[in-house]
Amino acid sequence: MTKPYIKLLCLIAILIAATIVIANAPDKTDTAKITDRIIAIETEALKSWNNGDPSGYLKIYAEEITYFDVGTNARLDGYSAMEKLFDPARGKIYGSRFKMLNPKVQLHGSVAVLTFNLVTYSDKDKVISPWNATEVYAKINNQWKIIHSHWSKTKDIPQLNPKPQKSKTKDSS
């Protein structure tokens, strides 16, 4: 083979490889749809949880779920461990409403990491508990499932306790 043919074949191979990479990369629309879907799944589970029903989360946990929160001494492994943890909570956890603040989804192939702050309110609109949350989702059998969950209490959430603004008006006295 002569040099021009080798160059042409290399160019064709590069163009084919680039086309495959571009065709398989998720576009911004897909990323936005997945982000919205992950947040919607989590929101539904939170609604269920705040009505005393942990099954909203149990439905979206993968069999191999791993879990940490402030009430566990060590990592919990597996779906049955989560059932044992949540069973005593059935009918005992209530919040009149909640806010998911600062949600961020980081998508890497078939894995998505959702981080957010959660604030739950009592029926008297008092903050019950502010949390930091990390949920690692994986696409399993074409469904987004949580494979790792980590919850920790937070000291302060800026949106709850905004710093006082300096007055721009002058004292008239």
Q: Which domain holds residue 49?
A: 27-153
Answer whether residue 161 is part of any domain: no
The model carries a pTM of 0.75
pLDDT at residue number 50: 92
CB atoms within 10 A of CB 148: 19
19, part of any domain: no
Residues in the chain: 173
DSSP code at position 108: E
Distance CA 106, CA 143 (A): 17
- 113 domain residue, yes or no: yes
Q: How many helices (H) and strands (E) does the chain have?
A: 4, 6
In a domain, 105, yes or no: yes
pLDDT at site 48: 96
- How far from 15 is each of 3, 20, 70, 139, CA to CA, in Å? 18, 9, 52, 30
Q: Is residue 147 part of a domain?
A: yes
CATH code of the domain containing 48: 3.10.450.50
Q: Where are the beta strands (DSSP E) in 57-142?
A: 61-68, 76-77, 97-108, 111-121, 127-140
Three-class SS of 132-173: EEEEEEEEECCEEEEEEEEEEECCCCCCCCCCCCCCCCCCCC
Tens-digit pLDDT profile for residues 143-171: 999 999 999 998 766 555 544 444 343 33
| Per-residue pLDDT in tens (0 to 9) along the chain, 173 residues | 566 667 666 667 676 766 665 555 555 678 999 999 999 999 999 999 999 999 999 999 999 999 999 989 999 999 999 999 999 989 998 888 999 999 999 999 999 999 999 999 988 888 888 999 999 999 999 999 999 999 999 876 655 554 444 434 333 33
158 in any annotated domain: no
Q: Is residue 46 part of a domain?
A: yes
Q: How many domains does the chain have?
A: 1
